[in-house]
Structure 1
Amino acid sequence: MTAAKNSDGTVGKALDLLDKVAAIGHPVRFSELLADSEHPKATLYRLLQTLTSQGMLSYDPDRQLYSLGVRLVKLAHAAWRQSSLAPIARPFLDELSNKLGETVHLAQLDHGQVLYLDKRNPAKPLMMFSDAGKIGPGYCTGVGKAMLAFLEDSTREQCIKQQAYHRYTAHTLTSAEALRTELDEIRIQGIAFDREEHEPNIICIAAPILSGSDRVLGGLSITTSMQRYTLLTLEELKPDLLETARKIGEQADLWQFPELQA
């Protein structure tokens, strides 16, 4: 454990535990959490008891399973309304997806990674990784690269160092140097592409959502497949993409949308 995490004390330990339960994706037994825990058995049990009593976790005594609690769900919805672009962007996402008949993603950065906030599917949706609430890589998704490219230099460099550079496909960028080069190009062009970098057959065009002072508020992407578009024809969607990103940014400024940490 790092010094920074140590300084967070019990609150930091409890939040880390909530993250683990959420990441598992299904109700989990104490023994499963203990097997992957850096805490002694008694400490882990005490943290679970505290989180359960506070409604952040729910415990099923019959099946002996822990899951995310109702209070956490309420907090998540409040955060979604107050600190997320999603409520502001909703009508613009609907309009763009209905016009183009393609999947539209809204995202923000979370420690250099992509947090998907909202998603609009066409009548015939594609099977893909992204869904609202999921975390995806920044370095090999169009929306991630679009946001990274427009960060301030020091913040962008920090985010570049946070990437895993795992090779998902033959097209994935696998080094910081390659990512820096592409981010420079994106900054000039104003748009980013996912060239089957995260999932085979899936391509997208993406743009940052910027405030009036050019702060990165989030990112917007139009995602499709190689059966529907080529990378060349996908660029035809650039005007609609940029116009929608501009409208969301303007609306966010009106609502004094808070600056988020990358």
Structure 2
Amino acid sequence: MSPTKTTASAAGTADEVSAPATARAGDRSGTVRKGLTLLELLANYPHGATAGQIVAESGYAFSTCYRLLTTLVDSGFAEYDTATKQYRLGLLVFHMGQKVATARGYSGTALPVLRRLTEATGESSLLAVLDGDRFLTVHTVDGPNHRITTDPGDRGALHTSSLGRALLAFSPQDTRDELVATIDLVPRTDRSRTDRDGLRRILEETRQRGWACQDQEHDEGMCAVAVPVMTPGGPLVAALALAAPVYRCDLAGLERHIPLLNDAAAQLASQLPQRP
């Protein structure tokens, strides 16, 4: 056998081996993405969801969902209740989330500040960060007379919420422009603003006065004000809000607490680590 033929044969063998290996790598990548999608879907059902619900929402075949859910359960990322036949996130996810919260200062640093803010105002306080095209709630403290509808880990619309508007308004301009041009402006209530030019005007007003607001645009019967949490001369870290049901405190009432809200935001800005 000539050297040329040997080289060609070896090259052919390498090609034959590398192609299936690449395909297998692609398959693994797709499987991981699907598994992560199921984790996100389970997060929307904190009390559990059936396999049928997960299949309907994900659009994956039942066999695929069942296989992935079984893997998630076996690895501790999900749990299965044999009595209700429902899946839910496992404690391993909670453990990982607590690690992230501690590393970012949300637990030891942010929570005491939110508690003092709620004690001083009597209203619920919320802290959120920008997470892609949504806001991610990282901490909440309920007011003494009511409970808010957002929980830590919830992701919400940017255009209808005071938190989202504060995050949008004080983000770098290129980030703000891209999000305003691309986010889905779905109405949440009859009062929701869903036009992009109107949203741009709201954000400009927010930047000029230094705080954002919403009056029953995000949730029926709720109003809120929010301010950015920004390090001195540095980037946006988070947004801090006060929220209340309108039957006990209207928007004007919340606006009177903005000085306290700004003081709390300044405390957070000096203590929270900057996001990379």
Give the superposed CA RMSD: 2.3
* 1:175 paired residue number: 195
Q: Which residue is 1:134 aligned to?
A: 154
Structure 1 runs of 4+ aligned residues shifted over 6 Å read none
Shift of 1:90: 1.4
Task: Name 1:123's counterpart in structure 2.
Answer: 144
SS of 1:81's equivalent? helix
Q: How does 1:67-106 map to 2 (within 5 A)?
A: 67-83=88-104, 85-106=106-127
The answer to whether the 8 A contact 1:149-1:183 is kept is yes
Instruction: Determine which structure has greater relative contact order: mean sequence separation of CA pairs < 8 Å that are 6+ residues apart, divided by chain length.
Output: 1
The structure richer in helix per residue is 2
1:112 is matched with 133
Who is 2:18 aligned against?
none
Contact 1:56 1:72 in 2 (8 A): yes
1:226 aligns with 2:251: no
Q: Does 1:154 align with 2:174?
A: yes
Distance 1:65 1:220, change over 3 A: same
Indicate yes or no: 2:32 matched with 1:11.
yes
Q: Which residue of 1 aligns with 2:275?
A: 258
**Cα distance in structure 1, aligned partners of 2:69 and 2:250:** 50
Which of these two proteins has the greater Rg computed from alpha carbons?
2
Looking at structure 1, the residues matched to 86 and 252 of structure 2 have their Cα atoms a distance apart, in angstroms, of 50
CA contact (8 A) 2:228 2:236 kept: yes
The answer as to whether partners of 1:128 and 1:199 remain within 8 angstroms in 2 is no
Q: 1:162 to 1:7 in 2, by over 3 A?
A: farther
Question: Which residue in 2 is equivalent to 1:214?
Answer: 234
- Unaligned 5+ runs, structure 2: 1-25
Taking the aligned partners of 1:29 and 1:110, their CA distance within structure 2 comes to: 27
How high is the TM-score relative to the length of structure 2?
A: 0.82
Question: Of the candidates 210, 216, 224, which is equivalent to residue 190 of structure 1?
Answer: 210
Give CA deviations for 1:120-145 in whole Å, capped at 9, x if unaligned.
Answer: 222212x5422222222111111110
Identity between Structure 1 and Structure 2 (%): 27
Tell me, yes or no, if structure 1 residue 28 matches structure 2 residue 49. Answer: yes
Alignment length (residue pairs) = 251
Matched to 2:275, the amino acid is: P
Offset of residue 52 of structure 1 = 1.7
